[in-house]
Structure formats: C-alpha cells, structure tokens
Structure 1
Amino acid sequence: MTGPEQPRPSGLRNPQRSVRSLGAATLAIEAFVLLLAIQPIRVVGGDLSGTAIGVVVALALVGVALAGMMRRQWAWHAGTALQGLLLLSGLLHWSLLVLGIIFALAWAYALHVRRVILG
C-alpha cells in the first residue's frame, strides 16, 4: 500500500524514457508539420517571404535537433523557448501564430505529463 509520502506508481517500466519519447515525438511532429505547412501558406496566404520561409525551416531544424537531445535536462527548457519563438514567428504570418498556439498547447501537455509522471 502506498502512503501519502510516496508517489503513485505510473505503471510504466521506464517512466523517464516514456516521458523523453513524448517530448521528442512532440518536437518531431512539430518540425514535420512546419515543413509541410510552407507550401500551403505560400499558396493560400501569398505573403510568406523568403525570410519567413527561412525562419520556418530553421525552427523545424531546431525542433529535430532538440528531439534528438531529450536526454539532456536543458532540452526541455529549449523546447519551451522554441514554442515561444514559433509564437513570435506569428508576426511574419498569421498562420504561423495559429501553429504556434497549437504546438504550445501540445508542449504544455507534454510538460504536464512529465510533471505528473516524474514528479
């Protein structure tokens, strides 16, 4: 029987690995969606400049790099900063703000799961 001072067992064999995988998957999906969004934004919005495309590609590359570094504690903080940068890229095009909000919510959920499972 677990007492009030003991954390609830998660039922996972390796909780840290599971949480790292969730963070990495979130960042990898974000990078994939950002790269896929370039062409529809250009076609529909029409105002996506070369600089904005470069920013989107850079954010996607940072997301992929961070997904591979989720073993390091600082990668979680860098992932949070990445969400902020994506939100700021909304100044370049409104659809990037929408993507930023969606992925900021997904990242907040990943952080919540991490806090619940790892304490």
Structure 2
Amino acid sequence: SMVAGYSFLQLPPRFLGHNLSTFLVYIWSRYHEGLEVNMFELFNTRAEMLPWFFLAQTFLLEGEFPVLDLLGIVFGHIYHHCKTTNILRTPQFIIDWYNSDGRFSTVLRKQYKAISSDFELQ
C-alpha cells in the first residue's frame, strides 16, 4: 500500500525506509496501547502517543512539515483498521495448507512454535 501511495503522490522511493519505520511504530503503538514508554530518560508517554511524538520531533528538528511521518501514520491506521475489523485476513486456502499434514507444513508449524515463545505468540 505504501508503494502504491508513493506512486500516486509521485514521491521518490528513497524515503520509503523512513515511512516504513513510522508505519511500524504506529502498528506497535496500537497493539500496546496504555503501555508507558520512557523517552530518552526525560519523561514517560503512553505508547499510542509515540508516533505523534516522532512526528512532532521531525517537525521541530527539520523545520518542515513531516509528510513522510504522517503518511506512515495514515498507512498504519489503514492497516490496523483493516486487520482489527477482519477486512484483511488470511485466505482460507493458506490456513488449510498450514493445517494440512504435508511435510513442509509440519516443518513450518514446528519452526513457528519454536519462535513463538520468543514473541509471546499463541
């Protein structure tokens, strides 16, 4: 979606990395709402305010309107909305393939279980 948005807005793709990081911060902040985040050992803020803090930081440090940060927040909000309202979901054929008894599916499930404990996934 970000690549399509960049093409539509005729923005150079060299800024996609910054945009992607803002997108990921927004997604993380939505999944960890209410969590206290320490900012540079100076003050605490709630996780849902973190993308807006970085947007303000870009504005203050660079002295220009942070379009890329705002685009990351917008794309992150669209993704989060689509994911939480179940508009964006895994197709059934992939779920069936993952749950099948095939050799590759079995190996994939074992690897998923091995790393899921690191990320506290169910």
- For Structure 1 versus Structure 2, the TM-score category normalised by the shorter chain is 0.3 to 0.5
Q: Which has the higher contact order (CA 8 A, sep 6+)?
A: 1
Whose strand fraction is larger, Structure 1's or Structure 2's?
Answer: 2
TM-score (norm 1): 0.36
Higher Cα radius of gyration: 2
